[in-house]
Amino acid sequence: MSRKFNWPRIRRILVVVTYRGLRRGKRRIPPGLRLIVGLLLVFGGVLGFLPILGFWMIPLGVAVASLDIPPLYRVLNRRLRRLRHRRKHSGNC
């Protein structure tokens, strides 16, 4: 029995979770610490071939670090808003 994944739905859920997580992190984590955590995540992602660390840490680290770098934050926020807007105005889900 093969199970088919609903990739558009999974993508929409990931966008919402990412958007909410970054908003929550911006409110609860002090500014200097966000940049350090983001850089550590990127560094850990570079070591993604190790068992616990993974390449998934690179985009997460860039997103967390971008909260302290205004030009990067504007680009990320614009992109997430555009994806959320598509999600709200799509007919299914």
For the chain, the domains span 7-88
3-state secondary structure of 33: helix
Query: What CA–CA distance (Å, rounded) separates 4 from 84?
Result: 24
Q: Which two tokens stand for residue 48?
A: 């993604």
Its pTM stands at: 0.68
pLDDT tens for each residue of 34-78: 999 999 989 988 888 877 778 888 888 888 888 888 898 899 888
- Render the burial of 33-52: b for 16+ CB within 10 Å, e for the rest: ebbebbeebbebbeeeeeee
pLDDT tens for each residue of 12-26: 888 888 888 888 888
- Between 38 and 91, residue with greater pLDDT: 38
Q: Give the model's pLDDT for residue 90.
A: 65
- Between 2 and 45, residue with greater pLDDT: 45
Decide if pLDDT at 93 tops 70: no
Q: For residues 86-93, give the mean pLDDT.
A: 61
Q: Give the model's pLDDT for residue 79.
A: 85
CB atoms within 10 A of CB 64: 25
